Every structure is written in structure tokens, then in C-alpha cells.
Structure 1
């Protein structure tokens, strides 16, 4: 069984992550745990802080179902605002229309510490923005109206109480 995904509004999800400086075996282990968690949850991306690790690293899903790591990423450019239907593994069963950008340019490192730049649009641009938001300490619900955000927060509190009772 994969590691448990942290649920919003946990503090680790609302705090900016720390840059990755140790590219050793612990990083490789964390990437394996992240891959297992995102695959078990049938997600298309996951950030390290969604497993409780405050590190600036995420796995991003490609259209073909494979994943690649982005370590210490930064969005360099954004263009063409759009609204997309969005959900999150840390906010289960909640889907809302969310403002994003159609195209992004991102600079990041891989697990071998090599720097890359990717220009993405469509689904890949969407996932990159979502995961980098996580690394900056933001969850997609923050981009919604105050009313929608508070309704989702109430549902999440009830869901977390349900999970706690289920465990006890």
C-alpha cells in the first residue's frame, strides 16, 4: 500500500516547500513512494508535500501515462489565460472550474541534477501549474471564490472526521 496522501487544509500543503539539495538515495526513495501514491490514486501528478515532505519536487504525468520528475521548478513564462476543470488528490472528489494559463515555460532539475526547460501547453501545462502551485504552498481551491472555497473546506472537515472514525 502506498503512503497516505495529505488532505487539505493541512499546514504542509499551505507552506512553501524547501529546495532540494540532497540528490542521494533518500530522494530516489521519495520519488518511488510518490509514484506508488499517484498511481494508486489514479492521479496525473503529485507534489512531495502531498506526502508530507516539504521538498520542492513533484511528479508530472504525461499523456502516455508515464511520469517525470520536476525538482526545484520555476515557471518562467505564462500566456493565454483559460479556465479548466480541476481536482486534486489532496482535495478528493472536488472538481471546480479554475483559472490557469494555456501555455507555460518551466525550468527544473531532474534527479541527476541536470537543468531543463520545457514549453508546455494543454494538459501538460495544466499539470505543471497545479504541481508547482503545491510546491509554492498553494492548493487550487485558493483560486476559487470565497464561497466555493469555504464550502469545499466544510466538506473536507466532514470527510476528515469520517476517515478518523473509520480508522478508530
Structure 2
């Protein structure tokens, strides 16, 4: 069952998530629900706090259309600054240029708790940075100028009000 995606500036998106310590059935269910939510929203990545769960877990989309799970991820290295067009499921219909790195090295656990290291570049590195930012309590708009952030914030507040009215009807 897909979960609703939280819209920025909801507090769960601006607060660092908690490390996963229990790799039991509840985590497995959450990961499956996150995959459904990402698929339904046609996203290329999703973090747990985007569906209201303050846990350090995300799904990261690969270029071939598949995805993989990262639990308790840490970026170990960043190389080659780039500026990339970026959007977000929690900031719908907004796209802006955002500073990132072309290459990253990440350490993370899978759904069973086993540790992995991954060196990524290009689009995969971009998605990893975006999702790990979410887990650290940051949304891509945090990288933008104050003016752009304020304009987007106004549009997101209007969107939140419209969604609230829909639920009441």
C-alpha cells in the first residue's frame, strides 16, 4: 500500500532522521510501502521522512529503472562539484539548479543490516546525495537562494491548503 508523500516545509522533512536499529518486519513493510509510493509518484528516489517516518532509510533509483535500499547511509567522499537540475516528490512541480558532486562514495546497510560501500557517479551520485540530504533533514530548496526558496515555499503552502481542503470534502 502506497503512503502519502509529505509536502515541504513539513517538520518531518526538516529534522534529521533516526538511525535504524531494528531490521525486523516493520522495516520490511516500510520499505515495501515506500517502493509503492515511489512507483505511484513516478519518482527516482524516496526517503522515509517523505512518507512521514523519521527513520534513516531511503530508496535510490538506478538509470535502468530499478532501485535499491539504503539504510543508515553515510557519504564518505565527494568529488567534482557540479550544478544539476533537481526536483523532489515533496516539492512537486518545482525544478531548480542545485549544487552537487559528480562522484560520491557511500557506506550503507541493506534491509538485512549488512554493510556495503558504493562508488557512484553521474545520475546515481546525484540521487544518492538528494536522498541522504533528506535523511539529514534537508530538502533541495535549502541549497537555493533565499528569494527562490521563499517563492517555492509560498507555492507549497498553497498546495498544502488545497490538499487539506480535498481531504475534508
TM range (shorter): over 0.9
Match of 2:63 in 1: 63
Distance of 1:142 and 1:112 partners within structure 2: 32
Distance of 1:2 and 1:54 partners within structure 2: 17
Q: Give the ranges of 4+ consecutive aligned residues of structure 1 lying more than 6 Å apart after TM superposition.
A: none
Question: Structure 1, residues 59-117: CA drift from partner, whole Å, max 9, x if none?
Answer: 00011111100000000000110100000000000000000000000000001211111
TM-score, normalised on structure 2? 0.98
Distance of 2:57 and 2:166 partners within structure 1: 31
Match of 2:8 in 1: 8
TM-score, normalised on structure 1? 0.98
Match of 2:149 in 1: 149
Distance of 1:111 and 1:89 partners within structure 2: 23
Distance of 2:116 and 2:42 partners within structure 1: 27
Q: Where do residues 7-156 of structure 1 align in structure 2 (5 Å cutoff)?
A: 7-156=7-156
Give RMSD over aligned pairs.
0.7
Give 1:160 deviation, angstroms.
1.0
Equivalent residue pairs, number: 168
Distance of 2:106 and 2:138 partners within structure 1: 17
Distance of 1:75 and 1:141 partners within structure 2: 20
